[in-house]
Structure 1
Amino acid sequence: MKRLLYPTLTVAGVMSFGMGQAIADPLYIGAYGGSTEKAMKEKIIPAFLENHDAEVIYVPGNSTDTLAKLQAQAGNQELDVVLMDDGPMYQAINLGFCSPLSGMKSLDDVYDVARFSNDNAVGIGLVATGFAYNAEMFKRNGWAPPSSWQDLADKKFEGKLVVPSISNTYGLHTLVMAARLNGGGENNI
Structure 2
Amino acid sequence: MKRSIPLWPLLAAAALSVAVPAAAQDKVVNVYSSRHYQTDEKLYRDFTKATGIQVRLIEGKEDALIERIRNEGANSPADVLITVDAGRLWRAEELDLFAPVKSQVLDNRLPASFRHPEGKWFGFSYRARVIVYNKDKVKPGEITSYADLADPKWKGRICVRSSSNIYNLSLLAALIHHWGEDKARQWAKDVKENLARDPKGGDTDQIKAVAAGECDVAISNHYYYVRLMNSDKPEDKKVVEKVALVWPDQNGNGTHVNVSGAGLIKTAPHKQAAIKFLEYLASDQAQAYFAAGNNEWPVVSSAAYRNPALASLGKFKADSLNVSVLGKNQALAQKIYDQVGWK
Give the superposition deviation at 1:46.
Answer: 1.1
Number of residue pairs the alignment of both structures matches: 155
For the aligned residue pairs, the C-alpha RMSD in angstroms reads 3.4
Q: TM-score, normalised by structure 2?
A: 0.38
Change (3 A) 1:115 1:24: closer
Matches within 5 A, 1:93-108: 93-102=93-102, 104-108=103-107
Counterpart residue identity of residue 155, structure 2: D
Which residue does the alignment assign to 1:76? 75
Gaps in structure 2 of 5+ consecutive residues:
1-22, 176-183, 191-331, 337-343
Give the ranges of 4+ consecutive aligned residues of structure 1 lying more than 6 Å apart after TM superposition.
none
1:171 corresponds to 2:168: yes
Give the superposition deviation at 1:45.
Answer: 0.9
SS at match of 1:90: helix
Aligned equivalents of 2:95, 2:65: Cα separation in 1: 13
CA contact (8 A) 1:179 1:188 kept: no
Aligned equivalents of 1:187, 1:139: Cα separation in 2: 30
Change (3 A) 1:95 1:139: closer
Counterpart residue identity of residue 155, structure 1: G
More strand, by proportion: 2
Aligned equivalents of 1:175, 1:65: Cα separation in 2: 24
SS at match of 1:123: strand
Identity %: 17
Q: TM-score, normalised by structure 1?
A: 0.62
1:186 corresponds to 2:333: yes
Give the superposition deviation at 1:165.
Answer: 7.1
CA contact (8 A) 2:164 2:334 kept: no
More helix, by proportion: 2
Please give the per-residue CA displacement for 1:44-85, whole angstroms capped at 9, x wherever unaligned.
0111222325252241423x3332222232332232211232
Give the superposition deviation at 1:186.
Answer: 2.4
CA contact (8 A) 2:47 2:53 kept: no
Aligned equivalents of 1:165, 1:54: Cα separation in 2: 40
Change (3 A) 1:166 1:29: farther
Aligned equivalents of 1:156, 1:44: Cα separation in 2: 42
SS at match of 1:118: coil
- Larger relative contact order (C-alpha < 8 A, sep ≥ 6)? 2
Which residue does the alignment assign to 1:6? none
Aligned equivalents of 1:139, 1:173: Cα separation in 2: 26
Counterpart residue identity of residue 172, structure 1: L
Which residue does the alignment assign to 1:115? 115
Aligned equivalents of 1:146, 1:113: Cα separation in 2: 24
Which residue does the alignment assign to 1:154? 155
Gaps in structure 1 of 5+ consecutive residues:
1-20
Matches within 5 A, 1:46-85: 46-50=45-49, 51-62=51-62, 64-84=63-83, 85=85
Change (3 A) 1:54 1:122: same
Change (3 A) 1:155 1:52: same
